[in-house]
Amino acid sequence: MKKKNIIIVSTLCVLVSMWSSCDKKEQAVAPPLPGNEPLTTMILRATNVSDATDTSSASWVELDPTGTIGPDTSHATLHLKVGATYNVTVQLLDTLNDITPEIKARENYHLFCFDVAPGLNLTCKQTDLDTNPKPLPIGLTDLFTTGIASNGHLEVTLHHQPNVKDGTCAPGSVDIDATFTVKIQ
Amino acid sequence: MSINLKTFRNMKNIFKNMLFTIAASGIMINSNAQNITLANNFMVGVTGGISTPMGNFAKTDYDNNASGFAGAGYNLGITGTYFLTRHFGINALVSYSQYSFKGIQHIADGFHESFDVDSSSATTKGSDHSISILVGPYYTVPLSAKLSVHFRLLAGITSSTLAGWDVVLTDAGITHPPLTQNTSSATAFGLQGGIGLHYTIARHWGVMLNGDYFYSKPNFAIENLDRNANAGREISSYNQPLAGINVNITLLYELHL
């Protein structure tokens, strides 16, 4: 009788402890990874839609990620003709590699934005689309249309918009911010 | 105190012979056994044990849409057997199984990489669990006066729920709204079968130790919320076997109707 009671009570204890043991919420955090190479260089390459020999390129370089030294803008001028349309490509580099394919692979949450300074007769429009459920512009390829002769600045920013990309420049953070000079002559 | 080699060999042989005898008795039907269980034609009990998922259900590969992220859990239930003959009966089982979530870190790491953000945090929603109502044949073979081995194969309905998760992305100091995979439920045909040992501890009381394979293949329709970008793991359905092994102990009350 005593043996029976011990077995019954032990079995019930095991069953009850299982019932109460493992119903908990699990949580995990993936922390920042050290050592990511910062983007250092943006290159714009423009080709006249009507004249393939009419090309221009400009590069903006900032090797100091803290921004203390300031960017090298000695080659950051784009020369465009009056009243013309240009196909433009954007290339990004870090200190070691061409990062453009990576941006392309992550197109669904990246967007290039173009801010044209007042007085510069230029319009910029992204021509490539991502693969989001509702396709949105990326900006790795673009169409620049010039007006009358003018000079000014063009600020190109790459926006990182994880799960918040909506086609506007507002959401997310900025991965690189480069300012070029554009001369329309 | 030391044991010399000869004594050790003798003990080893005795032990081997004992094991052989037990194994042989499991194969042969011991018709002379006075089994108390078989004097009773109905038994009912509470059962519980460890559930170990297998196959795709237990995989934790973020990039594999078949991964079920199910870890070991427990099951509890009520079981009853009605004996039609000395050896053969009908067994019914109503059970609840719950599994732990295995690999939440893989979810957090995967979204971290998929969205190239500074950090990500993943939290489970609900749990993987199933409720089964199963019925099937039960066959028992007595090994001694108090010990018997049995086999069962059960089939029926299994209603299962798949856990979900929330993932919060943080980048450049901005915490974005969570991406959510909701919990989802589905019902499917279920199977369970295995082998067990029954030990009679008193006239109306017994315990069983069971090992069972379980299987069902529900087709879950999964709802995802706040998925604005086509990036990161996102599945809209899950139709993989929910399979594994249950190892259970059952406390039985046996009676003659």
CATH code of A97's domain: 2.60.40
> With 90 as the cut, is the pLDDT of residue B2 above it?
no
**If contacts are CB pairs under 8 Å, which of residues 46-65 in chain B contact chain A?**
46-50
Domains: count for chain A: 1
Q: Does A74 have pLDDT greater than 80?
A: yes
**What is the C-alpha separation between B94 and B92, in angstroms, rounded?**
7
A144 touches A122 (CB < 8 A): yes
Q: Who contacts A124 (Cβ-Cβ below 8 Å, separation ≥6)?
A: A88, A114, A116, A142, A143, A144, A154
In a domain, residue A66? The reply is yes
Q: Contacts of residue B228 in chain A, CB cutoff 8 Å?
A: 132, 163-166
Report if residue A180 sits inside a domain: yes
Q: Calculate mean pLDDT across residues B22-36.
A: 38
Tell me whether strands A150-160 and A110-116 are parallel, antiparallel or unpaired. Answer: antiparallel
The average pLDDT across B133-158 equals 97
CB–CB contact A12 B46 (8 Å): yes
| Backbone φ, ψ for residue B194 (5° rounding) | 180, -165
Give pLDDT, residue A64.
84
Residue B120 has pLDDT above 90, yes or no: yes
- Position B184: which residue type? S
Question: Is A20 part of a structural domain of the chain?
Answer: no
Distance between CA atoms of residues A138 and A158, nearest Å: 9
Q: How confident is the model at residue B19 (pLDDT cuts 50, 70, 90)?
A: very low
Token digits of residue A90:
């954007």
Residue A140 resides in a domain: yes
Q: How far is it, in rounded angstroms, from Cα A9 to Cα A78?
A: 85
Is the Cβ pair B121, A131 closer than 8 Å? no
* Confidence band of B98 (pLDDT split at 50, 70, 90): very high
Structural domain including A169 reads: 39-184
CB B71 within 8 A of CB B102: yes
Averaged pLDDT, B38-47: 82
As to burial, measured by CB atoms within 10 angstroms (0-12 exposed, 13-18 middle, 19+ buried), residue B113 is middle
| Cβ A89 vs Cβ A73: under 8 Å | no
Nearest residue of chain B to residue A16 (CA atoms): B48
Interchain contact, A25 vs B107, CB within 8 Å? no
Measured between alpha carbons, how far is residue B19 from residues A30, B13, B26, B195 in Å? Answer: 51, 10, 11, 19
Stretch among A99-108, A117-126, B35-44, B159-168 having the lowest mean pLDDT: B35-44
Domain B36-255 has CATH 2.40.160.20: yes
Q: Closest by alpha carbon to B135, among B111, B160, B152?
A: B152
In-domain check, residue A64: yes
Tell me, yes or no, whether A27 lies in a domain.
Answer: no
**Which tokens sit at B238?**
């899950």
User: Residue A44's CB: how many other CB atoms inside 10 A?
Assistant: 23
pLDDT range class, residue A124, cuts 50, 70, 90? very high
Residue A131 exposure: Cα atoms within 13 Å on the Cβ side: 7
| Dihedral (CA of B125, B128, B129, B135) sign | positive
Q: What is the DSSP letter of B57?
A: G
Share of chain B above pLDDT 70, in %: 84
Does B108 lie at the interface with A, CB-CB under 8 angstroms? yes
Domain ranges of chain B: 36-255
Please judge whether B226 and A163 are an interchain contact, meaning their C-beta atoms are less than 8 angstroms apart: yes
Q: Which of B112, B230, B251 sits opposite A132 (nearest CB)?
A: B230
Question: Which residues does chain B have within 8 Å of residue A39's beta carbon, measured at their own beta carbons?
Answer: none
Looking at the predicted structure, is the pLDDT value of residue B40 above 70?
no
Give the pLDDT confidence of B222-237 residue by residue, as tens digits. Answer: 999 999 889 999 999 9
- Per CB-CB distance under 8 Å, the chain B contacts of A32 are 118-119
Please give the structure tokens belonging to residue B38.
């078989």
Mean pLDDT of A89-103: 93
Residue A10 belongs to a domain: no
d(CA B10, CA A115): 92
Chain B: closest CA distance from residue A78 (Å): 31
* Predicted local confidence at residue B218, as pLDDT: 97
pLDDT reading at B66 higher than 80? yes
Q: Is residue A32 part of a domain?
A: no
